[in-house]
Amino acid sequence: MAILKKWINSDSPDVFIISGDMTAGPEKSLNLLNQLQMDCPQTKLLFVHGNHDVYHEDSMLGYETLLQFPGNLGNGPVELNEDWVVIGDGGWYDYTFGIDGFSTEEFSLGKYNDFTWPDKTYAHWPKSDQDETNRYLEKIEGWLIDYQGKNIIMVSHFVPFSQFVIKKNDPSWDFFNAMMGSSRFGELALKYGVEKYIFGHIHTRYHEFYNGIEVICNPLGYYPHEWNSANAEKEIFSGIKVLEI
Ligand SMILES: [Fe+2]
């Protein structure tokens, strides 16, 4: 957090977007977001939740707790200026990236061999994964309709295009791709012609144009095996992208 504050306060961007998975619990994430925003008053902090942020016995309550953060995009679109608007929410997954040969029920149990997808243990939504994903899709589409004709930056935690889901031809990995996101977020982005799409969740960095959309995923991976540098400042700074609009 100190390193993040150092970067934000020295670079002083107008807006800083975090695409989820700050901590493993809504209260902890909310506290850190509030702290960061208080310590960096010149920058507007925007946030969408990840799966870890809603680890709670009642994930809907966790989701609502996180809405207390004013920069949570789940509260509604944020206009950057007359032309640009940021629209998004954390989202969820509906198995559209799942591999063939498994049923919806198997994906919903989230178990392959002796590994259970952690969300199945730590996140507790009132409805099925697909219903929860639909809730996000409807909400986001409503906002996209409201802002048609503007330059839109769309943000979700989960992956919008299968292009960015890593396939290893190993079912012990590929089975869990079902929990990576939903192609329907990508369909919305294409339908409403968003300019840029920022997401998280996966631990591989991407910055490229895909179907005319500038797609950015720039996570900070698990320490130490996913880090490129032994130096925390260097690694954290490398996980930050600067966009000019
Ligand atoms: Fe995640």
The pTM (predicted TM-score) of the whole model is 0.98
Q: What is the pLDDT of residue 65?
A: 98
pLDDT value, residue 31: 98
Give the Å distance between the CA of 53 and the centre of ligand 1: 9
CA pair distance 109, 106, nearest whole angstrom: 5
Q: What is the DSSP string of 60-123?
A: HHHHHHHTTSTTBGGG--EE-SSSEEEEE------STTPPTT--HHHHHHTEETTEE-THHHHB
Tell the residue number behind the tokens 């007359």, with chain if given: 82
21 Cα–ligand 1 center, Å: 6
Full domain range(s) for residue 198: 2-238
When pLDDT is averaged across residues 159-184 and rounded to a whole number, the result is 97
H runs (alpha helix) in 147-182: 171-174
Residue 23 located in a structural domain:
yes
Question: Quick one: average pLDDT of 194-203?
Answer: 98
Token readout for 9 is 């306060």
C-alpha radius of gyration, the chain, whole number: 17
Task: Output the CA 199–ligand 1 centroid distance in Å.
Answer: 10
If pLDDT is split at 50, 70 and 90, which confidence band does 26 have? Answer: very high
Q: Which residue pairs from 25-28 have beta carbons closer than 8 angstroms and sit at least 24 positions apart in sequence?
A: 25/52, 25/53, 25/55, 25/56, 25/62, 26/53, 26/54, 26/55, 26/56, 26/61, 26/62, 26/63, 26/65, 26/66, 27/65
What is d(CA 145, CA 81) in angstroms, rounded to the nearest whole number?
18
What is the Å distance from ligand 1's center to 83 Cα?
30
Give distance in angstroms: CA of 203 to centre of ligand 1: 9
Query: Which two three-digit tokens encode residue 238?
Result: 């490398």
Report CA(5)–ligand 1 centroid distance (Å): 22
The mean pLDDT of 85-105, rounded to a whole number, is 97
- Is residue 244 situated within a structural domain? no
Q: Considering the domain boundaries, does residue 243 fall inside one?
A: no
245 part of a folded domain: no
Average pLDDT over residues 52-60: 98
CATH number at residue 187: 3.60.21.10
Query: Mean pLDDT across the chain, nearest whole number?
Result: 97
| Cα–ligand 1 centroid distance for 137 (angstroms) | 18
Average pLDDT over residues 179-191: 98
Number of domains forming the structure of the chain: 1
**In contact, 16 and 40? CB cutoff 8 Å:** yes
Using left for φ > 0, alpha for ψ between -120 and 50, and beta otherwise, residue 75 falls in: alpha
Ligand 1 center from residue 82 Cα (angstroms): 32
In a domain? residue 70 = yes
27 domain residue, yes or no? yes
For residue 195, report the distance from its CA to the centre of ligand 1, in Å.
23
CA of 144 to the centre of ligand 1 (A): 23
Q: What is the pLDDT of residue 169?
A: 96
Q: Is 6 left (phi over 0), alpha (psi -120 to 50) or beta?
A: alpha
Tokens 């540098």 correspond to 229
Q: How far is the CA of 149 from the centre of ligand 1 (A)?
A: 31
- pLDDT at position 107: 98
